Structure 1
Amino acid sequence: MAKDLFTEIRVKYNTLSKNQKIVANYILENRDKCVRMTLNELGRECNLSETTIIRFINKLDYKSYQSFRLDMAQDLSRHDAADSPKGSEYQEIKSGDSAEEVKQKVISIASSAITDINNLIPVETVTEAAKLIESARKIMFFGAGGSGVVAMDVYHKFLRSGKNVIHEGNSHIALIHASQLTKDDLLILISHEGESKEVLECCRLAQEGKAKVLGITSYMNSDLAKMADLCIFSSTNDSAYYTEAMVSRLVQLVIMDMLFIIVNAREDDKALMAIEAANRATREMKVHNGYEEEA
C-alpha cells in the first residue's frame, strides 16, 4: 500500500509536539501553497525555526526537506488525479463558521479519518484480530468514557451472532470479569487515549489469567498500545470544536464492523442462524408491544 503523506501527518498528529502540530495544521490547511515553499518560507509562515520544521519531518521518517516536499507534490497530484471532491481536504473548524461551513468541515474531517483506515491498518493486523475473535471461548468488551458506547454496540452485534460475549459498563464489575478470564478468552479494550486506569487495570488482570488482549486506541505511544497483545489504531483529527475523540469513535465503529463482518462471513450458516433467532426474539417483542410492522 502506497504511503500517503497527508494521511501520515493525521495518523501521527497526537505524537507531535505543540510547535510540530502548528506545522502539521498549516500543511494540512495549505497543501497547494506548501508544495511550492522552501524550508525557510515554511518556517516563516508558521513563525517557527527551520530546526522545528526539520524535527517535524523527521517525526514523519523523512531525512531531508527535499524528499518530504517531493512526496507532498506527488500525493497532491495523486489526489487531484482522483478528482477528490471540493472540501475533501483537511479544514479546521473555526469560531464564526456558518452552519454550511461547519456541515462541510465535519463531513470532511469524518470522511478523512475513515479513509485513513486504509493506510493506518495493515490487512495483516485485521486478519490477526479476526483470528483472535474466532478462536476465543469467551470475549469481553470494555470501553472507557465515550468509547463505552462503541463497546456496547459491538457487544450487541456479536451477541446477536451467537458469540459467547460479555460487556459491563460498571468499571468495578468489569474488573471482576477481567480477573476471571483465562487463556482461552479474549478481552477487547476500546479507549481513545489508551490511558484510562480502568482500561489498563482490566488489561493487567486479564493478562494475569493468560487471556489475550486486543486494544483499539488512537495513541500509538499509549500504555494500552504497549500492554495489549495486539493493537489497532484509530486515526484522529484534532479540532477545537470537533474533538479527535468524536472522530475516533466513528473510526472505532468502522474497525469493529470490519472485524464483525469478517468473522461472521467465515462462520456463515452458524452466524446467520443465530442472527435470525435474535431477529425473531426482538420481532416478537415488538409485536407484543403493538409495534408490528405492516406487511
Structure 2
Amino acid sequence: METTELLAGDEDMLGQIRRQLSRFSKTERKIAEYVLNHAELIPTMTTKELAAKADVSEASVVRFTKSVGIGSFKAFKILLAQELVNQEEYITDFSITQKKDTPYELFQKVVHVNRGAIDLLLASIEKKELEKAVKTLQNARRILFYGVGGSAVAAMDAHFKFTKLGYQVEYHADFHYMLSVIPFLSENDVFVAISMSGETKDVLELARFAKQQGAVLIAITNLNKSPLCKEADIQLATPNVEKDFRVGSITSRMTQLTVIDALYISLVNQMGEGIIDRYQNAREQAVKLRR
C-alpha cells in the first residue's frame, strides 16, 4: 500500500483529510467533503457510486485516494472502515488480561468486535470476485474445503452446509487424508482454501496440489500479498482484524463464517424452491426419527 506524508503520525485519516482541505483541487475538495460528511457510507461504495454522489468522474476518485496517500480505493475504504469501528477497543490481544472486566462487559466487547469485523468485511470483499465464486461453485462437480486451526471451523461449517445442497463435498482435518483425495480432482472441481494469514504451509501445499490437478482455487484469506492470495484463481478477501499475538481467532473466524454463509445462501437462491422441498423432506424424516 502506498503512503505519503499525509498519513504520517498519529492523526487519523479523516482528521488529516479535514486538515488538508485547503490544499485539494476543486474536484478533490468535492470528494473530500462528501467523505467527511458521509464517512459511514464509503466502505460499501464503489468508485462509480462515490463519483456519482460527489458529482465527479471515477478517475477523480482514484486520483483522490492516491493524493491522500492510499494506493487504491479499496485500501482507502478498508482504512476508513477501521477508523469507524474504533479498533483500539478490540480485545484481540493479551491486553484483556490487564483489566478485570465483568463477564457482561466482556460480552459487550465481543459483540463490538464481531460487529466491527463484519463492517470491515463489507469493504474488503470484491463484488466481482464474490459473483465469480458463486458461479464457479454452482457449476462444480466436487468441492473440497480445507483450513487448519481457527480456519478449520469455517471449513467444517462449509462442509456441512454445502453437503445439504447436494454437492459432493470433502473436508477432513487430516492433511494426509486430503492429500489422498486431491489427485482425483479435475478442472470441473473446486478447492476452497481458508487461511487468515495466507501463509499456513499445509493449506498452501494442498492448494497448490489441487491447482496442479486443474481444480479452481478459491481463497478465503486476509487482504494482503500472501502466497495464498497470489496463487488463488478467485480471492474472497477478509479484512486484517487480528494481531499476530491473540487470545483466539475471534474476529477472523467471524469473517470467514460470514463469507461461507454468503456463498451458501447465494447458491440456495440460485437453486430456488426445489431445494426447499428437499430440506422439508429431510426435516420430516428427522421428526419421525426423534426419540
- What TM-score do you get using the length of structure 1 for normalisation? 0.67
Q: Report if the CA contact (8 A) 1:193-1:218 is conserved.
A: yes
Q: 1:166 to 1:270 in 2, by over 3 A?
A: farther
- What TM-score do you get using the length of structure 2 for normalisation? 0.68
Does structure 1 residue 135 correspond to structure 2 residue 139? yes
Which residue of the partner structure matches residue 155 of structure 2? Answer: 151
Which residue of the partner structure matches residue 78 of structure 1? Answer: 38
Q: Which amino acid aligns with 1:154?
A: A
**Deviation, structure 1 residue 109:** 2.5
Q: 1:284 to 1:160 in 2, by over 3 A?
A: farther
Q: Report if the CA contact (8 A) 1:150-1:252 is conserved.
A: yes
Q: Write the deviation string for residues 112-159 of structure 1: whole angstroms up to 9, x where unpaired.
A: 210122221122111100001001111111112111111111110111
**Deviation, structure 1 residue 279:** 2.7
- Alignment counterpart, residue 87 of structure 2, candidates 90, 110, 133: 90
Runs of 4+ in 1 over 6 A off after TM superposition: 31-38, 65-73
Q: Write the deviation string for residues 202-256 of structure 1: whole angstroms up to 9, x where unpaired.
A: 1111111111110101142111111111111111323588668321110111111
**Deviation, structure 1 residue 72:** 8.1
Instruction: Find the aligned partners of 2:213 and 2:266 in 1 and give their Cα distance.
Output: 27
Q: Which amino acid aligns with 2:196?
A: H
Q: 1:283 to 1:222 in 2, by over 3 A?
A: farther
| Matched-pair identity in % | 26
Instruction: Find the aligned partners of 2:220 and 2:115 in 1 and give their Cα distance.
Output: 19
Q: Which amino acid aligns with 1:89?
A: N
- Alignment counterpart, residue 115 of structure 2, candidates 94, 111, 114: 111
**Deviation, structure 1 residue 76:** 5.2
Instruction: Find the aligned partners of 2:252 and 2:24 in 1 and give their Cα distance.
Output: 32
Which residue of the partner structure matches residue 129 of structure 2? Answer: 125
Which residue of the partner structure matches residue 260 of structure 1? Answer: 264
Q: 1:137 to 1:105 in 2, by over 3 A?
A: same
Stretches of structure 1 lacking an aligned partner (at least 5 in a row): 1-11, 39-64, 291-295
Alignment partner of 1:187: what SS?
strand
Stretches of structure 2 lacking an aligned partner (at least 5 in a row): 43-83
Residues paired across the two proteins, number: 236
Q: Indicate the RMSD between aligned Cα atoms, in angstroms.
A: 3.5
Q: Report if the CA contact (8 A) 1:215-1:230 is conserved.
A: yes
**Deviation, structure 1 residue 69:** 11
Q: 1:66 to 1:240 in 2, by over 3 A?
A: farther
Alignment partner of 1:172: what SS?
helix
Q: 1:191 to 1:239 in 2, by over 3 A?
A: closer
Q: Report if the CA contact (8 A) 1:236-1:244 is conserved.
A: no
Q: Report if the CA contact (8 A) 2:223-2:240 is conserved.
A: no
Q: Report if the CA contact (8 A) 1:217-1:234 is conserved.
A: yes
Which residue of the partner structure matches residue 42 of structure 1? Answer: none
Q: Report if the CA contact (8 A) 2:144-2:190 is conserved.
A: yes
Q: Report if the CA contact (8 A) 1:236-1:247 is conserved.
A: no
Q: Does 132-141 or 266-275 show the bigger shift?
A: 266-275
Alignment partner of 2:152: what SS?
helix
Q: Write the deviation string for residues 248-284 of structure 1: whole angstroms up to 9, x where unpaired.
A: 1101111111111111111113322332343344444
Q: Which amino acid aligns with 2:87?
A: Y
Q: Write the deviation string for residues 173-229 of structure 1: whole angstroms up to 9, x where unpaired.
A: 011112221111111111111112211111111111111110101142111111111
